[in-house]
Structure 1
């Protein structure tokens, strides 16, 4: 018999797998696969954005970055998932994103994402990422799947 807790744990594992696949797609320069994890109505806050971005603005930012040859070439990009909570067709995931360009020190970004179950897939409807200027200390983990 499947319980509500089993369902939440299974959904948390699906969400974690989606987060990892999204960053694998970034490293593979597969923008279509990366974007398949984002709702077209998604909004984004990033440390380097000057305001809340829509998907249209994100696409414009990417085009400018590509045209200028400024897309980072990363050697490392991994999500260390700290917590995932699921409430029906809404979920919240929190993780550390560790990135490093070749020969550079790793940077840590704190990420919080809100997801909605749309058409049977968990899609990010809001992404918030803040670059950390110092390493994270030990973090208690709860409700996570990684």
Structure 2
């Protein structure tokens, strides 16, 4: 099953370096490829989490398409920038996508939208959600600490 997550942002993410800094600030042991141009990134991204590769898809995404698809959801405002993450059935890919996505929202200001449960999370709520999800994934995988 594929899952998607949307990051609705007040400003664009400037660079992969800024993104990595945002991930590090949240204490996640996730390393994204610094060679990616986040403005034009599209498709699969292989990051490293806990020394192992994790794969998820990432790209900028038109906010108006999110509004059109989820017309019954109140996003609180029109967002000037949006990104999407897709992940398959891999638990590590799920954790990686959530960590990476929440870091974007936390750094740029905005909302983390999880459409499977219709969750629209402010940055502080999204950070707690990410930490809980990572802890749950690690427990399922029989590991500890993110």
| Common topology (TM > 0.5) | no
Give the structure-2-normalised TM-score: 0.29
Bigger radius of gyration among the two: 1
| Higher-strand-fraction structure | 1
TM (norm. structure 1) is 0.29
